[in-house]
Every structure is written in structure tokens, then in C-alpha cells.
Amino acid sequence: MITNSSELPDQFVQILTEHFELSPDQLTPSTTFMELDMDSLALMQLVVAAEAAFGVVLPEQIMSLSSYATLGEAARMLAPPEPRRSSNFTPPMPAT
């Protein structure tokens, strides 16, 4: 069972503690936004803060977050996209 904020991404915990004055002790992956008294406006502020912190524009699916969503669900949605790995593959040159 997940029981503490150390199981959430550090940057996500930092956003929640700094922008919403929450204690890390309150933050577990199974905690819901409703339990933290965060309404839809607070969720939009979270999205804006996450976009600024991660330097990305998050996908529209993030708007489906509700007060019933857990911090674990939100952390997965707010995670910055994985950087694309460059391939060392070079296509062969066409025969002339």
C-alpha cells in the first residue's frame, strides 16, 4: 500500500506544497483532490503550475481531472513527456 509523498514525483509534490500550501504528509498517491479541498479552479491552477514547472503544454486529457481523481492519477497525467530517443539508424543510400 502506498502511504507517503515519497512515492509521488518530487516536482509534483513541490508544486502542491508551494502553490497550495499543503503538507507533504497529506500527499499520497491515493489521496483525492476532494480530500485536499481542491476544487476545479484549484485543479486548473495545478495544470498551469505544472506546465510552467515542466516547461511543456500538457495534453487536453488533463482537463478530465476531477476532484475525485487521486494524486497518483494526476501525477501520471502531469508527468512531462518522455524525450524521444535519437536513433543511430541511418537508412541505406539508394543504388545509382
Could you report the per-residue pLDDT of 23-55, keeping only the tens digit for each? 999 999 999 999 999 998 999 999 899 888 878
Q: What is the pLDDT of residue 78?
A: 74
Q: What is the pLDDT of residue 28?
A: 95
pTM value? 0.71
Q: Which residue pairs, CB below 8 angstroms and at least 24 apart, start in 35-41?
A: 38/67, 39/67, 40/66, 40/67
Contact 56, 81 (CB under 8 A): yes
Burial class (CB in 10 A: 0-12, 13-18, 19+), 71: buried
Question: What value does the mean pLDDT take over residues 46-68?
Answer: 83
Contact 56, 40 (CB under 8 A): no
Cell (9 digits) for 94? 539508394
